[in-house]
Amino acid sequence: MIQNEGGIFLLFSTISFIYYFLAAVLLLYFIVPFKCKNLVLLAASLFFYFYGEPIYTLLMIATILSSYIHGLLIDKFRGTVWSKVFLWSSVVTSIGALGFFKYSDFFISNVNSIFKTEFSLLGLALPIGISFYTFQTLSYTIDVYRDEAKVQKSPIRLATYVALFPQLIAGPIVRYTTVEEELSHRTHSFENFGAGVTRFIIGLSKKVLIADTLGGLANTMHAMEDATVVGYWMYAVAISLQLYFDFSGYSDMAIGLGKIFGFHFLENFNYPFISKSIAEFWRRWHMSLGTWFRDYVYIPMGGNRVSQGRWFFNILTVWFLTGFWHGADWTFIIWGLYFAAFLLLEKFVLNKVFAKLPKFVSHIYVVIAILISFVIFSGNGLSGAMADLGNMFGAGGIAFWSGETGYYLGSYGVVLATAILGATPLVKTVVLKIKENRIGSLVCDILEPVFVVVMLLVVTAYFVDGSFSPFLYFRF
């Protein structure tokens, strides 16, 4: 469990969640008839959220009720102007709640800074997961309006979709259309259950064994009094890989839990660090967010089927919003616009240049650009981020190398090598190649459950030792 501003929150990476909460939910879920399964999941999900956010649970319920009512009204008045009125009402209501709770103090502080006013900050705690479930409810009402999804007349089913605890507080952003049929008809099997358990434990291991260890390295290198250029590049590598294994690990756990309960969520990561361009990176990183902005913001604005000036505006708007979605701080906005700049450069300059060069050159370019981006992303405000970037390039005359830097590089060398290898599809490719052979497939079938059990035991040992931390994306 972890203490946040709203209360004590259950984490996937805790004994309390795995051995008490999840075990009880699974037992109850599989003994009740199908018509009661959504009710069990909804009750469990509301308890899961209420345990950490007792007050803000009411906000989530209000958001669900608003989406449910708006969906009915959009469908009832389909073909009339009132359908669009109710669509915009749902958008304004959802975005308004997100803006109020997440961005009020950001706007107030900037107004105070610009106009020298002294408006008091509201000091609101950020409701956990509000960015994720808001986008899910918006996808529902928008798709109903577009006639791409049938209106959901059962409030229990819609509430189950929004509140489903596997993906409630840190994604991936699950579209209503993805699980529309499974809310009413889904199948359960030992095969899916086993695959779900395996995926969950792999994600759990990525988070606890790799991401948390890299987090320790990142904190150590960032806090060193005798900073070095190499030390700051180690920080950049550690924080970038920590973000990847933390968030992709959570996504693996969510997808695995979904499969256990009969849902099939779409993939959220596809080895982004092997990309040869920033555009490709964003087709592989946090895919549920990227496709959400593409389908609900970029394309409705005209996409690239507009004048060049308007296209520039569309790109800048989408990436401004992508950055701002991550948090109420200028570092996130700069981070989003940083990617917009690279996408424009690739479109008009870089793609032509890299087409004439060996592929590894473009890969190195992407890796360096991504490392820099996540230093900005993780910075303590703009000034902190700029100071970190300056140190990466030797600003202020800091040393290039030190014995202390070498000590930490040696101490964390194995986990860094493991993380770099794990960020590529090499291991997966080798396993699939082995499985092509009948004997190899049999060996893998025997070793896989052993490996999964061993990983669970190792992770549990970390839990007992208290060596874990909250998911980074909880703050978004």
Return the SS3 of 275: coil
Cα–Cα distances in angstroms (integers) from residue 107 to residues 96, 100, 104, 381, in the given order: 14, 10, 5, 15
Sign of torsion, CA 362 368 370 373? negative
Q: How far apart are CA 130 and CA 127, in angstroms?
A: 6
Q: Which residue type sits at 292?
A: W
- Which distant-in-sequence residues (6+ apart) come within 8 Å of 74 by Cβ? 83, 86, 87, 90, 141, 144, 145, 151
Determine how many CB atoms are found less than 10 A away from the CB of residue 54.
12
Q: Please report which helix (H) or strand (E) contains residue 3, including its range.
A: strand 2-3
The C-alpha atoms of residue 336 and residue 320 are separated, in whole angstroms, by 5
DSSP 171-197: -----HHHHTTTTT-----HHHHHHHH
- Hey, what are 430's tokens? 């080798």
CB 240 within 8 A of CB 285: no
- The CA distance from 71 to 53, in Å, is 26
Q: What's the CA gap between 282 and 433, in Å, rounded? A: 28
Residue 206: C-alpha distances to residues 3, 41, 353, 375, 467 (Å): 22, 26, 36, 21, 14
Which two structure tokens, joined as six digits, stand for 173?
A: 């952003």
Is 326 an active-site residue? Answer: yes
Among the listed residues 188, 264, 326, 363, the single catalytic one is 326
Pick from 373, 73, 355, 411: nearest CA to 231: 411
Find residue 392's DSSP bridge partners.
Answer: none
Residues labelled as active-site residues: 326
